[in-house]
With several copies, the nearest count.
Chain A
Amino acid sequence: MSFVEYREPIQDGDTAIVFLGHDSMFPVTIKQGGQTQTKYGVIRHSTDLIGKKYGSKVTCSKGGWVYILYPTPELWTMNLPHRTQILYSTDISMITMMLELKPGSVVCESGTGSGSLSHAIIRTVAPTGHLYTVEFHQQRAEKAIEEFQQHKVDHLVRVKNQDVCKTGFGVSHIADAVFLDIPSPWEAIGHAKDALKIEGGRVCSFSPCIEQVQRTCLALTEHGFTEINTLEILLRVYDVRGINLPVPDFGTPAEEKSSDADKSKQLPASQPGTAHFKSGVSPREMVGHTGYLTFATKSLF
């Protein structure tokens, strides 16, 4: 298993996702002789998992069953241990496209946080690109290094524990793209510019508050960035379900009662029916805001 390369079958040391049903899942590290508790009973790694294919159905000790899934960055985002607020796949997809990431891209990121975006970046820039990620919180930086090793992507990433606003990314003129998710991104724009390739590149800053965006846009303009563009993306997931609507009963004109059976309306009195159909129902609540994404281009001139 590696987050950047699909490998069969399930092996000792892999990180896999145990899927219990409808958004309920968790990650597990496969260990020879290890076992995992689920609400459906125990899963024994050696007999139930190792050697099986990803996507297999595994019956637990109590008779219930689960699916074992290959870990993608998106599944990881849904299941990773939170050390900070994390970026979700809707924002990540936009960041990836708008920063023009692809195999071979060199990317600088700060902060690493819980590594949600980092995993997605590494997946996209592999096998020839690289991620330089900076995290000012020491404990988090160490945990991230550990996770990257566990997920077999450590050759594609370098984690540094420092303050990007003070000391930058520790690299100069090598990045195609820079991503900032820090409280005061405007203080890091100079460092971002320095990290980008001489011939130019793209930068993105994620901020929850509009005031942060305003200061960042000002700093981007002052540093000569162009194509400055702020956007927001929201996800609405529809709940697909069967709907039953009662059909109103309008009664029957008195004189026609039980006389004219095959009338055009065919609505016998006191027999209200029900209309059935499938529908996508909008959720009562959804995520209303994660943050503003500000993108800009550094040109050669």
Chain B
Amino acid sequence: MWLWQSYNVCIFSSRKVIFEKQWIYLDNAIGKHYGTTFEITAGGNLQTKKNEIAAAEPKEAGADNRNIVDDGKSQKLTRDDIEALKEKGIKGQEIVQQLIENSTTFRDKTEFAQEKYIKKKKKKYEANISIVKPSTRILAMMYYAREPGKICQLRYDTLAQMLTLGNIHAGSQVIVMETCAGLLLGSVMERMGGYGSVIQMYPGTGPVRAATDCFGFPKSFYKTLYEFPLSKVESLISGTFSAHRSVHAEQDSVQGDEESNGSNAEKQEPAQDIEEDSSPATEAESTVNSNQPENQEEMEVTGEENNEKGQNLEKKQIAMEKKRKQDERRKREAEAAVLLQNKNADGHPLIHPMCLVFQPLLECYTKLRERGGVINLKLSETWLRNYQVLPDRSHPKLVMSGGGGYLLYGITVARETAKPNIRCPEKTEEPAPKKLKVAELES
């Protein structure tokens, strides 16, 4: 379930939520249809509201603003007056109306200026919310508007392109590696509708799925979802992978050594090897100063079930449950490993890392070109413009996004000398096919 205020949406799972600094009680919303609009009353309760189309249209307007003298005295209602109205439980809409009536300059303003005035005041005093169904559209726009840092500023149109260019559909076999709070993973799962399989590759101690869990997928969807730690990729490739080593023991050692991080730009290289060999992969690279704090909150893979079962269990039961989950987890990891090993590297699939900054993708591009096995590589960016369309007042929105991330994508094909096998040695950097180089130069 979702709260919607323009593009300001937030999640709730209890009957009481805090939103834009106000407590809201949701009891009145239960049983209503998705899309219903509510007004928030003084006490924080919800009251169903009929969608009013173009309410309070200004009637009288000046031709221009030549007679307006800005002396800050045009509003006769004082701040105290307005507070008093609010405390009396007067609705936002009425407060706005009173503000208009008490403005000495409103009638002299142009229609355009009146509109702006009303819009501003409405936003300030009217508190309407709608409850809408979650979807990739809703979640991607919400995260971009409210918490862009959590999703590496992955703009919704860039996400849309990843899904389309990646040919994500029911029955696909997809690898997702992202640091976007699980938003990309969720959108991939939505497009697959429970058909096919998704393997989430994760850095650190566990997969992040905060946004994924917001989609409200049926339980069956999670049966097609696997996870595999990045830190075991080398052992998987070398054939020494075993799912039975303790996950947690390894994690501790990782965290212990983190103080002595070396900084070597060359180290990025293996990231690309992974993408290539495990295609079809949809990869969103980590970006600006992301220290991946999400990775620290140990995500529960079986979190869905948790909500229903976990409430009244005693300590022993909790421990047993934990053991059961750990076993479950190892089993799934082993299954993921099998899926990864059987994956066909060649054919139609696309790979495309997304990054907010340009340089890493430039390096990625160069490395992939050198390695071969990928054709029609493109490095691109999209511009998104939103429009205000109103009679006699149409123009692009005054504020736009400066950047939604860069995208690198291509098509994997058979590599020259290596067999299409995940265990082939990727250390041998092969020269790109000659013909391809010519084609590249021609461009």
Contacts and interface: CB of A to CB of B under 8 A. Distances in A.
Q: Do chains A and B touch in the complex (CB under 8 A)?
A: yes
A54 to B, nearest CB: 4
A111 B414 CA distance: 38
Interface in B258-294: 258, 260-271, 274, 285-292
B440 A57 contact: no
B137 A103 contact: no
A240 B234 CA distance: 30
Interface in B126-163: 135-137, 140, 148, 153, 156-157, 159-161, 163
B356 interface: yes
Interface stretch (B310-318, B331-339, B358-366): B358-366
Interface stretch (B13-21, B39-47, B99-107, B384-392): B384-392
A90 B382 contact: yes
Contacts of A273: 261-264, 267
A41 interface: no
Interface in A200-240: 200, 208-211, 213-214, 217-218, 221, 224, 226, 228-240
A259 interface: no
B137 A251 contact: no
A120 B69 CA distance: 26
Contacts of A57: 413-414, 416
B169 interface: yes
B391 A214 contact: yes
A221 to B, nearest CB: 7
Contact of A55 (B153, B391, B413): B413
B267 A282 contact: no
A249 B135 CA distance: 32
B394 A210 contact: yes
A237 to B, nearest CB: 4
Interface string A35-71: 0000000000000000001111100000011010111
Interface stretch (A144-152, A188-196, A285-293): A285-293
B306 interface: no
Which 3 pairs across A and B sit closest by C-beta, in order of nearness? A282-B403, A103-B193, A288-B400
Interface of A: 4-6, 8, 19, 21-24, 53-57, 64-65, 67, 69-75, 83, 89-90, 92-94, 96-98, 100, 102-104, 120, 123-124, 126-128, 136-139, 163, 183, 199-200, 208-211, 213-214, 217-218, 221, 224, 226, 228-241, 243-256, 264-267, 269-292, 294, 297, 299-301
